Structure 1
């Protein structure tokens, strides 16, 4: 199988946790896990011309991920997020502004790279400010399979912008609370299946992934809902676990693995990452297999 070109667009930043600073940002998390799963991905983002930015560039290169699409902003600092754990291991985020990743600039070379991609992974958070939002909207004309990772962090989203992104998505990934909120804008669907049906029909999205924390996950593929109860682990933090889940799901999809097996693999990797600190823990395929009990 020819290895597909995968591009992840959006924020690259430092998560400032009570235990210290860790590199993060959903697009980078997804790229990192794709790379560990044998599917190299490139990253399109922007960092500041500062110590934090240089640190991130060094880590990206160290992890074997292409930094060719990382712009350096001479005037705006590298992004940081103040992260605090809450009840049930849920994380609370203060996404500090200004941040360089809000200023991702469009250029023809970038558009040319995106045009060659088989998959284009992007999130809603990168559309919170006009410069990156406009760049993203122009790049969404790509023929690539477009993967939208909804990431609702109030007040950093608006329904009109989300609708625009949803109309472009071929694959949608969201958590349960995001599904409940967005589906409520369009109707009174009661069950999870009815909610995914509503969004699939309204926006013509073939695949909708819903992560549900300790309750597992579900995926709606062309109207058929598959569920997984999840794997029970001792949670260190949930930073990046959903991003790992998405990367694992895309890995299975690209390799044409049956949906149920892909969902199981994704649930295992999501649980594994939740059992370790930060969004970029080291692990092997054997570690995932151990979680699955195989």
Structure 2
């Protein structure tokens, strides 16, 4: 199974702060760094490092050479990444001493992806393959409909939440991967109990496998009327920036390898635990050999 990832490519600017800045407040940063990032890039890197055959569909500006290099070094195919006019996407990230983060995103060339670019990529994929996407690029709704028409399975990580998201055809999605915030918004239960969120999403989308990550409390999964939970591994938390992306990439790579749903959750949980114990976004994502050798 090949995986086509329609995903963002960002230049991350990370500021280490004592606490998240409040309205009207100016605070000093206690650290600063730049790195490649974006949910799309991180998930392609995670897929590639996990051993999956992944092809990235996206766009960068003239400043995006480093983003292409990171993808290629990880082992992702970049033949469908175009260089367009304008700046690449970028993110402003605050990280606290506890490892929590909040992120502001500028779309840049991620929002210049066209239907023609999607069509050109999909021609290389078929019914045994999978489309992965997030909500940081243009043409997401079109890609879901067109990929399903061609027989691909769909994995959707609908982040960040936006108004346009609510017109997407979620009923066409095979794997819906959300955190508590995203799940709460999509189930009309913001701040609700995770089990209630999961059951409501399963009720609304009965043909979709729902994966609900709940941070340090692990992950819930619901599919075909069955529910399971996998706890998170306890590790010293340094930076949670790429935790969800690592989980997503390793979970889908497990399915691509023929692992069961439960085995894929186990693999993804272990990989994301290793990721949060390190600083950085893409740079924190472990290789499969590290995950398999881990004694967590």
The Cα offsets for residues 263-290 of structure 1, whole Å up to 9 and x where unpaired, read as: 2221110111111122223634453245
Q: How does 1:93-172 map to 2 (within 5 A)?
A: 93-97=103-107, 99-107=108-116, 108-115=119-126, 118-127=129-138, 132-133=139-140, 135-136=142-143, 139-140=146-147, 141-152=149-160, 157-158=162-163, 161-172=165-176
| 1:9 matched to 2:6 | yes
Q: Does 1:260 align with 2:274?
A: no
Task: Compare relative contact order (CA 8 Å, sep 6+) and give the higher one, 1 or 2.
Answer: 2
Aligned counterpart, 1:91: 101
Deviation, 1:193, is 3.5
The answer for unaligned runs of 5 or more in structure 1 is none
TM-score (norm: length of structure 2):
0.84
* Cα contact 1:217–1:229 (8 A) shared by 2: yes
Give the SS at the match of 2:290.
helix
**d(CA) in 1 for partners of 2:259, 2:70:** 31
Structure 2 CA distance, aligned partners of 1:46 and 1:116? 25
Query: Which structure 2 segments of 5+ residues have no match?
Result: 16-31
How do 1:117-266 and structure 2 match up within 5 A? 118-127=129-138, 132-133=139-140, 135-136=142-143, 139-140=146-147, 141-152=149-160, 157-158=162-163, 161-184=165-188, 191-266=193-268
* Distance in 2 of aligned mates of 1:216 and 1:199: 18
Match of 1:45 in 2: 58
After TM superposition, the score normalised by the length of structure 1 is 0.84
The whole-number CA distance in structure 1 between the counterparts of 2:267 and 2:213 is 13
Confirm or deny: 8 A CA contact 2:52 2:256 kept in the other structure: no
**Deviation readout 1:90-140 (Å, 9 max, x if unpaired):** 31111125x00100122242231244660100012324xxxx346535544
